Chains A and B, each alone.
Chain A
Amino acid sequence: MNRLERVLAPVALITLLLLLWETVCRAARIPAFLLPPPSQVAAALVEGAPSLALAAWRTLSMALLALAAASLFASSVGLFVSLDRTVENAVRPLAVGLQVTPVVAIAPLFVIWAGIDHPGRAIVALAAIVAFFPIYSGVVTGLKSADPDLERLFDLYGAGPMQRLLRLRMPAAVPAMLEGHKVAAGLAVIGAVVAEFVAGSGGAQGLAWRILEAGNRLQTARMFAAIIVLAVMAGLLHFAFQALEARALVWWRGR
């Protein structure tokens, strides 16, 4: 019952809102280019399904590629940095600077560097930059998150620095690392979409391009369709990573 309710309640609310939207659009005769009724959006969704699916896959694959690159890079930098306090202090302002600079601001630079023919590269690089920080910060805090009393026990047992890293700090870092990857996955999608908007060309053919293209032609229903696909895709990705994190934590903790 409770589980059913958790599924039914949002479905009921969404249905209600869609009905309201449809009724208002029809009653007030709102022009379709301003606000198309849900029925038209649905039609656009069905009609554009193949191309939307392809665009979604392009955006998703760029985001996932960026996530993988960010994971590899951020984890190794985080691991390296945590070995020495001076290095960590030296890197911190750079990492924070990278995080607080809006991706929109640096996107044009990357588009230039990647070259007009390869907007995909710029998009992956930008999404990776956005995904870098949560993973990096998860790794760095995670490596420091071991129970101080366990650290004392390792002192007492005369553990060497390598033993400490491999048998205490790295396993202790797992939960924070998982959390960092979950946050980064969401950010990678946002980063990819923003970068694609800035690149502004059809070269990458992702969901952002679908939105731009439909917007330029005032095909508002198609814009809505692309936005819905984007939201659903990002939502599914979030839930997938959440489930993955929960699974991995059970494995880590044994419960």
Chain B
Amino acid sequence: MSDGEIVALVGPSGCGKSTALRLLAGLETPTRGRTRLAAGRGETSMVFQAATLAPWLTALANVALPLELAGAPRGEARRRAAQALQRVGLGGSQGARPAQLSGGMAMRVALARALVTAPRVLLLDEPFAALDEITRRALADDLLLLWQVERAAIVFVTHSVEEAVYMAARVVVMTCGPGRAAAQITVEAPLPRPAGFRATPLFRHAAEAVSAELALVMGASA
């Protein structure tokens, strides 16, 4: 992977997509082989399918948590957390508890928490799967805009071919038993996507190519 690249992992359930992410995060050790990580400690961030916020902390404290755990002074951590919340459009919700936030807002807080450490690699495990379509699309566009500023490399797992093609420069199709990459499709279009990108032939072709690869993979494993 190159710096600032966006890669999507798609594939049938149980093919080790999430495991691949955890390997990248260094949360699991491979049974065979090695993971090569250029990013060091504190340079990798992760967002899960659920927002995974601590319910007893405010949005601000949740976002400040990674900095405080890394030993940043409280005031400094809170200041940077406030900025991160501002960037995801939640500047006004600093004092809110997760229980008071909508699903989309909670996801934005999780995103702010992932971005607050200025990571080189951002790992997203089906980040928008639990959200409704409208919120999901809005967040996808926002994420691409944020990416334009932050320039972190992004790896995300998704079940949605559409989402993969819309957000990633490179879509990797994974196959089961053993889990490995079966195919790669490159999406040759500017990021963030131009308005109406979903209606362009390029988007349709890429989506169909990914779908075809997926069908192949599913057929092989079924």
Query: Which residues of A are in contact with B by a Cβ distance under 8 Å?
Result: 147, 149-150, 152-159, 163, 167-168, 171-172, 174, 252-255
CA distance A230 to B41 in the complex (A): 60
Scan B39-57; emit 1 where CB is below 8 A from any A CB, else 0. Answer: 0011011101010101111
The contact of A158 among B41, B48, B52, by CB within 8 Å, is B41
Q: Please report whether the interface of chain B is mostly helix, strand, loop or mixed according to DSSP.
A: loop
New A-B contacts (18) at CB < 8 Å, excluding given A156-B46, A158-B70: A147-B52, A149-B52, A152-B27, A153-B52, A155-B27, A156-B27, A156-B44, A158-B41, A158-B69, A167-B68, A167-B69, A171-B57, A252-B56, A253-B56, A254-B58, A254-B97, A254-B99, A255-B99
The number of chain B residues touching the other chain, given as a range, is: 20 to 34
A-B contact pairs, 19 of them (CB 8 A): A147-B52, A149-B52, A152-B25, A152-B27, A152-B46, A152-B48, A153-B46, A153-B52, A156-B25, A156-B27, A156-B46, A158-B42, A158-B70, A171-B56, A253-B55, A253-B99, A254-B56, A254-B99, A254-B100
CB-CB < 8 A to A172: which residues of B? 54, 56
CB-CB < 8 A to A150: which residues of B? 52, 54
B80 at the interface (CB under 8 A from A): no
**Are A149 and B50 in contact, with the CB atoms below 8 A?**
yes
CA distance A141 to B80 in the complex (A): 34
Query: Which residues of B are in contact with A by a Cβ distance under 8 Å?
Result: 22, 25-27, 41-42, 44-46, 48, 50, 52, 54-58, 65-66, 68-70, 96-100
Q: How far is the CB of B167 from chain A (nearest CB, A)?
A: 21
For residue A155, which residue of chain B has the nearest CB?
B27
**Are A157 and B70 in contact, with the CB atoms below 8 A?**
yes
The contact of A159 among B45, B69, B97, by CB within 8 Å, is B69
CB-CB < 8 A to B46: which residues of A? 152-153, 156
CB-CB < 8 A to A253: which residues of B? 55-56, 97, 99
**Are B54 and A157 in contact, with the CB atoms below 8 A?**
no
Q: How far is the CB of A158 from chain B (nearest CB, A)?
A: 5
Q: How far is the CB of A89 from chain B (nearest CB, A)?
A: 25
Q: How far is the CB of A146 from chain B (nearest CB, A)?
A: 9
